[in-house]
Amino acid sequence: MEGEERPPQEADVETVMTSGASESVPRVISGEAQNLSDVDAFHLLLEMKLKRRRKQPNLPRTVTQLVAEDGSRVYVVGTAHFSDDSKRDVVKTIREVQPDVVVVELCQYRVSMLKMDERTLLREAKEVSLEKLQQAVRQNGLMSGLMQMLLLKVSAHITEQLGMAPGGEFREAFKEASKVPFCKFHLGDRPIPVTFKRAIAALSFWQKVKLAWGLCFLSDPISKDDVERCKQKDLLEQMMAEMIGEFPDLHRTIVAERDIYLTYMLRQAARRLELPRASEAEPRKCVPSVVVGVVGMGHVPGIEKNWSTELNIQEIMTVPPPSIMGRMSRLAAKATFFGLLGYSLYWMGRRTVSLALSLPVAQFCLQRASAARPGP
């Protein structure tokens, strides 16, 4: 029996069925820990993991289950990025299914939010400084950088209204994944510079002006109930329909193309796992993997739609060259920006000199200088 004391010997092996698959996993029955080989130790930890994995997991209603061709299972958690309920949904899902891979809707340019504490993130999200603007312009170019700062302003507005930093569900996913044996953590979103550059290239000059104007003057109050209602698919589809009607090209680049990229990354993660072998003579054994994806609820319908289709991500990773109109608009924007900057500096300098000259000390010095000047 499993709990009996036995003398040290080669570990006995039997099979444990993985949930939702017909493949078997070697199971270590006995043997003292200090005498286990690396392979046996791996199987022992894998057995513990499979015991925790629920065959019929009790999942939140925000979870969508997808199955790959090889039997691997993907549990996509649709979240609202400013939501305590979404954090709990992510934690519950990871604990229930004990995944082999966790994929989150982040790229390498936003990975820093995983290790920052809530207070630091809250302060960072509220601050939209000149330094951040310069960094965004250097990273993405002038127009894309300005658009990124406007979207950061929207995020700061929501943060200020709710008193909650964004991305809490990703930080919870990172913490929980570290507690699951042999669980890998993948960044599944397209790099943000590519997204912004493609978004800007897709808009006409007047669409850019209209979008920037709307983002600059966004000030409507937002409640926590509003955010939680975003977890309902019908409301999200209605919001997306309104957005498509006004900026269809923006929706394509920011939402639809990222749906494709996220689907591709989830499918890459959902590959059969090859178990380690004690020797080269032992036959190879593979089992279906279990993946948890943590994405915004707005991406879930697109992931479901693209799950069984052929995907080409090379096309959505290229940045189209700017058109003549685009180059002219960028030059006009740069000229306007530096013109306003130069005028502001001139006005401030002139105002400063006027104020300085109006001081009593300055007036006294000017009178002394006039009196000391020799007559004609």
Give the model's pLDDT for residue 276: 73
Give the model's pLDDT for residue 201: 81
Give the model's pLDDT for residue 323: 62
Enumerate residues 6+ apart whose C-beta is below 8 A from 259.
299, 302, 303, 305, 306
Give the model's pLDDT for residue 133: 62
Judge if pTM exceeds 0.75: no
Enumerate residues 6+ apart whose C-beta is below 8 A from 67.
20, 73, 74
Cβ contact 73:270 at 8 Å: yes
Spans of the chain, pLDDT less than 50? 1-33, 233-237
Q: Where are the domains of the chain?
A: 57-320, 327-363
Q: State the Cα–Cα distance between residues 279 and 258, nearest whole angstrom.
A: 43
DSSP single-letter state for residue 103: E
Q: Where are the alpha helices (DSSP H) in the chain?
A: 38-52, 84-97, 118-126, 130-140, 142-162, 168-177, 192-202, 205-216, 224-229, 233-246, 248-251, 257-269, 300-306, 324-357, 360-372
- The C-alpha angle with vertex 204 and arms to 203 and 207, in degrees rounded to 5, equals 80
Give the model's pLDDT for residue 110: 84
